[in-house]
Amino acid sequence: MPTKQRRVIVSVINDLVTDQRVHRSCTALCDAGYSVTLVGRRLADSGPLNRNYKTVRMRLLFRKKAVFYAEYNIRLFLRLIFSKADIFYSNDTDTLLANYYAAKIRGKLLFFDAHEMFPEVPELVGRNGVKRFWMGIENHIFPKIQKMKPRAAAVTVCRSIADIYMERYRLEMGVVRNVPMRYETECVECGDFAKVFPSDKKILLYQGAVNVGRGLEWVIDAMPHLPQCHLVIAGVGDVYDALVKDVERRSLEGCVTFLGRVEPSVLHHITPLADLGLSLLENRGLNYYYSLPNRIADFVQSGVPVLATDFPEIHRVVEEYGIGSLVPSFERRTENIEGGTDSSDIKQMSLKDVEYSPEVLARYISEALAYWEQIPREERENKFKKASEELSWEHDKEVLLECVNRLSM
């Protein structure tokens, strides 16, 4: 608990509505006695907000590419320069430039929360110039954060990423995992959502951003081989429209349901309806390879077993708590017959290009469902009880508050 109420301006580049991690962080700070203002942006379809802290959403002129990031950071910088605040709290590298220079000029405290390895996001694969730009920002600012301590601090989402930044920049980072708050699944009412899902099918659920590299194309490919299953996709993103069109083109509407943008509170109603939660990340760089997707902890909180890619942080959690099954990682083939790289080959690749086909993925899914059907109820409940206690925001928020509280005035 801070000795006096300190004012924190938290910045993130999205529209605030569905960002659960940022909302949890702001709420934790408010509960600990901080005065919080969250700054983001407003989109044409942004929904209403009802938060226990102040929110500001800026309407930007640009929505894509470099001009969008430039406009956001310039406007954020000007807001920070003229604001009354003690701590500037930056979420991810795309808000760091404005926060760092505003903190430096005004002599304020800086807190950096890295939700991912930003230059390694799959959207930057093949975009070397853009990737070098973000790497340049990190190369320039990350060492300075370490030198600013104790007037600066940083956290990230897993130990693997923290270790990489320590080796690369000598930047010490706390680990605050992207995990949800605990909630009692037996108290959740399904409401109208139960009518959306076939009662005679096993429900496969994906929740989160519908972006490139999330493995959803693979699962859709496998659905014709899973007549006992129905796939539900809750979320929106870069490939959402393309997936909807693909499902329509292949006449798979009867076995795939798209829910679109879903409020976090509504996800608590949906998730317990699932028989298997999916987190099949592709191997698209270090950001995905070392990630621990928050959807895994969401599934755990609802007592839903997971089927996930066998990456280090995911492997650690799934094996330690015994809450799901792992799929071998998918290595993409990127060379053509002549030995060069052909972008058209990359676009056309699917599971069958490497070690397994949609039929093999369907077998993984079927085997996972069969395994959990034969697990005694008491044994299953014990596994998820322990996991839900430790993979929870109530556990990890104490790390966040400790790091923020240590910042010196």
DSSP assignment string, 98-161: HHHHHHHHHT-EEEEEESS-GGG-GGGTT-HHHHHHHHHHHHHHHHHHHHHTTSEEEEES-HHH
In this structure, the dihedral spanned by the alpha carbons of residues 351, 355, 358 and 359, taken in order and rounded to 10 degrees, is 170
Which is higher by pLDDT, 329 or 40?
40
Residue 327 forms beta bridges with which residues? 309
Scanning 260-392, the segments in alpha helix (DSSP H) are 264-270, 286-289, 294-301, 312-321, 343-348, 358-374, 377-390
Band (pLDDT 50/70/90 cuts) for residue 19 is confident
User: Which tokens sit at 172?
Assistant: 């010490």
- Fold matches, 7-179+393-405 and 185-390: yes
- The maximal CA–CA distance of the chain, rounded, in angstroms, is 67
Q: Does domain 7-179+393-405 have CATH number 3.40.50.2000?
A: yes
Structural domain boundaries in the chain: 7-179+393-405, 185-390
Which is higher by pLDDT, 192 or 335?
192
User: Which tokens sit at 348?
Assistant: 């056309």
Residue 93 three-state SS: helix
* Separation between Cα atoms, residue 318 and residue 289, nearest integer Å: 15
Calculate mean pLDDT across residues 196-202. 85
In this structure, the dihedral spanned by the alpha carbons of residues 59, 61, 64 and 69, taken in order and rounded to 10 degrees, is -70
Radius of gyration over alpha carbons of the chain, in Å? 22
Sign of CA dihedral 10, 14, 16, 18: negative
User: Phi, psi (5° rounding) for residue 59?
Assistant: -85, 120
How does the average pLDDT of the chain come out, rounded? 86
Residue 36 forms beta bridges with which residues? 8
pLDDT of the residue at 347:
30
Residue 214 three-state SS: coil
pLDDT of the residue at 346:
28
pLDDT in tens, 365-380: 999 999 999 999 899 8
pLDDT of the residue at 127:
81
Indicate the fold that domain 185-390 takes in CATH: Rossmann fold (3.40.50)
Whether residue 32 has pLDDT greater than 90: yes
Whether residue 232 has pLDDT greater than 80: yes
Give the predicted TM-score (pTM) of the model: 0.76
User: Which tokens sit at 150?
Assistant: 């104790």
Q: Which residue has the tokens 């599934």?
A: 299
Whether residue 63 has pLDDT greater than 80: no
Which is higher by pLDDT, 305 or 261?
305
* Long-range contacts formed by 326-329: CB under 8 A, 24+ apart: 327/280, 327/361, 327/364, 328/355, 328/356, 329/283, 329/289
pLDDT of the residue at 16:
81
Band (pLDDT 50/70/90 cuts) for residue 12 is very high
Sheet strands (E) in 208-305: 229-234, 256-260, 276-279
pLDDT of the residue at 355:
54
Whether residue 213 has pLDDT greater than 70: yes
Which is higher by pLDDT, 56 or 409?
56
Burial code (b: 16+ CB inside 10 Å, e: under 16) for 147-185 equals ebeebbbbbbbbbbbbebbeeebebebbbbbbbbbebee
Peptide bond into 150 cis (omega under 30): yes
Decide if 102 contacts 143 (C-beta within 8 A): no
pLDDT of the residue at 265:
76
The DSSP symbol for 3 reads S
Whether residue 140 has pLDDT greater than 80: yes
Decide if 169 contacts 146 (C-beta within 8 A): yes
Calculate mean pLDDT across residues 226-253. 95
The DSSP symbol for 335 reads B
